[in-house]
Amino acid sequence: MLKYLFAKNEDIPAGSAAIFWGFSSIVWFVIGTGLGSFNAAKLAFPDFVTGNEMFAFGHMRQVHVHAVIFGWISMAFGMAMMYITPALGNTKLWSEKLGIWNAFLWNVGLSLGLTLLWIGMTSGREYSDFPWFIDLYIAVFMAVPLAINVWMTVLTRRTQGIYTTNWFFAAGVFMVAIVFIVGNLPEWFHLTGLTEAYLTWWFAHNVLGLWITPVAAAIAYYTIPKVTGNPLYSHRIGHLHFWSVVVFYSTPAAHHLMSAPLPEWLKSFASVEGVLILVPAIAFVSNIMLTMQGKWNMFVENLEVRFTITGVLLAIPLNMQGGFQQTRAINWYVHGTGWIVAHAHLALLGFSTFLEGAAVYLGLQTLMKRKLYSLTLGNMHFWMLLIGFSIYWTSMTIAGLIQGAGKIYEVPYIDVVIAEHPYMIARWLGGTMVFISNVIWLYNMWMTAREGTVVPAGRLPHEIAYER
């Protein structure tokens, strides 16, 4: 892949950039979940790896979080954009070479940033823990080139209309650039106090709401009609979904700070918008579910559809939790507990990961024109990922409720730690299952590239999934 860095754009085979992004994302997923498993082990077994501050939980947690968000999720998005955006415009990617350089610089920057976090150089701001110069690098060498490639591909399309997926992609890369630049102002200009707190959570909320959520949803708008052959149920509901994401997801940042001395009107405003996050969720889930009419057998039979629909179904508990846990009445109880950790994993490891998994499975097979090496390993990956995630989510939700009760009734902290210990072990087991499933996935995709059956011209990989 690196040989294309200095090749002429026209000499680079179509899809090369997407393949680079796709394999990078899986490798980061393995690294990110491996670190997650390590961190969970430290919480379950306090004597596990002590004596070296670089392996302390405070160091390793940030590396895990950023490896997953910027490595796995964002690079899987880059992969999806590199092949879906041109496909929907009946055109080629604007610049394969820019795409390959972008993936290369993404991997270099992320490796550097994670190393700095590992040795303890951090801004200490949730989801934006990288030091300011790495943030600048991310904006200039990672986010902006991706946005340029996506926008230019949309602008040079050979269709008059723009399909729903590409609205979300084009808006997503634009919004994340704004979120990144504005959200990191406290680091570049040393803003402090409530301003910093508010901007930190404005960033953290919107990197989820204006990047991960809409782009993950956009993948479902592509994979379900593409694989099932059904038309998207409603272009009109797509409009409601798109605009409600932009309007209702961009405003509730203050609901992360319900106990802070922010103006009460801002918290109330944010809290109402927080519940209204259910509007895009309802639009999205209903549109995809209705698109599946007559093809529900594929939920069982087809791997990409199963990944996609699982992600879509997980959007229901995700948004029910997200909408209501931020209201004053419930936030009082769950704030600062493992419930929130469970919710974050429901968003990133549940809802979005299953959608990204579908994009990477479908994209890599389509672009490499090779059938999946082993459907059995693919199924094993799906079930281990789902069961591992479910164990994690359930155990952390219960642990969070215990912590909430301990907080409210002022139970001594050490008693709460003892009470939640079994759930910390369950969390480690679930997380480790997720990690192992991803190692299997990496092997399966590697073998697909090397030994997968060549897909005949004019056919799609999923059409021949059960043919020997």
Closer Cβ to another protein, 37 or 366, answer by number? 366
Sign of the Cα pseudo-torsion (99, 101, 102, 106, in order): positive
Closer Cβ to another protein, 70 or 163, answer by number? 163
Establish if 64 lies at the interface with another protein (CB under 8 A): no
Q: Is the Cβ–Cβ distance between 392 and 349 less than 8 Å?
A: yes
Establish if 243 lies at the interface with another protein (CB under 8 A): yes
Q: Is the Cβ–Cβ distance between 247 and 272 less than 8 Å?
A: no
Establish if 226 lies at the interface with another protein (CB under 8 A): yes
Query: Which range of residues in 21-29, 123-131, 229-237, 426-434 is near another protein by CB under 8 A?
Result: 229-237
Q: Which of 181, 185, 266, 419 touches another protein (CB under 8 A)?
A: 266
Establish if 191 lies at the interface with another protein (CB under 8 A): no
Q: Which of residues 270-299 bind another protein (CB under 8 A)?
A: 270-276, 278-279, 282-283, 286, 290
Sign of the Cα pseudo-torsion (449, 454, 460, 466, in order): negative
Residue count at the site for another protein (CB under 8 A)?
A: 59
Establish if 176 lies at the interface with another protein (CB under 8 A): no
Q: Which of residues 4-43 bind another protein (CB under 8 A)?
A: none
Residue whose C-alpha is closest to residue 211's, from 255, 245, 172? 172
Establish if 459 lies at the interface with another protein (CB under 8 A): no
- Cα–Cα dist 106/75, whole Å: 8
Tokens 């009609």 belong to residue:
225
Establish if 405 lies at the interface with another protein (CB under 8 A): no
- Any bridge partners for residue 184, and if so which? none
Residue whose C-alpha is closest to residue 241's, from 262, 264, 259, 215? 215
Establish if 332 lies at the interface with another protein (CB under 8 A): yes
Contacts (Cβ under 8 Å, ≥6 apart) of 363: 18, 22, 79, 80, 83, 84
Establish if 462 lies at the interface with another protein (CB under 8 A): no
Q: Which of residues 296-325 bind another protein (CB under 8 A)?
A: 323-324
Query: Which range of residues in 52-60, 211-219, 241-249, 338-346 is near another protein by CB under 8 A?
Result: 241-249
Residue whose C-alpha is closest to residue 71's, from 123, 34, 45, 40? 34
| Alpha helices in 296-371, H assignment, sequence order | 297-301, 303-325, 328-334, 338-345, 353-368
Q: Helix or strand or coil: residue 90?
A: coil
Least gap, CB of 259 to another protein (angstroms): 9
Binding region for another protein (CB under 8 A): 84, 87-90, 159-161, 163-164, 222, 225-226, 229, 231-240, 243-244, 247-248, 251, 258, 261-276, 278-279, 282-283, 286, 290, 323-324, 327-329, 331-332
